[in-house]
């Protein structure tokens, strides 16, 4: 199972969702040349926390400053995030 947490809120829980097997397969390919970012303790968008026990996936990593991967992860969130939050994250990625 691979879960993604959008690191964005302070004072309330960050949204988390599970990736489908197809999404995990796509993500494995996208993460080949991406290193985990450091955790930030600032307000606002701080990236995506990816946690996994799926083969080929790191057990835990933070994705930030990798626009292609961030946009992909954001595209998988549409079933849990509201349009306003999606827009804020899209602007932060750019």
Nearest to 11 by CA among 36, 39, 43: 43
Q: What tens digit of pLDDT does each residue of 11-32 get?
A: 889 999 999 999 999 999 999 8
Task: Quote the pTM value.
Answer: 0.92
Q: What tens digit of pLDDT does each residue of 34-63 get?
A: 999 988 877 889 999 999 999 889 999 999
DSSP letters for 11-65: SSPPPEEEPPHHHHHHHHHHTTT-PPPPP--SSS--EEEEEE-STTS-SEEEE-S
Nearest to 36 by CA among 18, 63, 5, 13: 63
Domain residue spans of the chain = 2-93
DSSP three-state, residue 74? helix
The two structure tokens encoding residue 86: 């999606």
């Amino acid at each position: 199972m691979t879960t993604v947490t959008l690191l964005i809120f302070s004072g309330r829980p960050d949204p988390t969702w599970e990736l489908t097997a197809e999404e995990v397969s796509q993500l494995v390919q996208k993460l080949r040349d991406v290193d985990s970012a450091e955790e930030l303790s600032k307000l606002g968008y701080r990236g995506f926390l990816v946690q996994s026990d799926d083969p080929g996936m790191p057990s835990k990593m933070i994705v930030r400053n990798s626009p292609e991967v961030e946009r992909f992860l954001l595209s998988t969130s549409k079933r849990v995030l509201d349009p306003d939050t999606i827009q804020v994250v899209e602007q932060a990625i750019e």
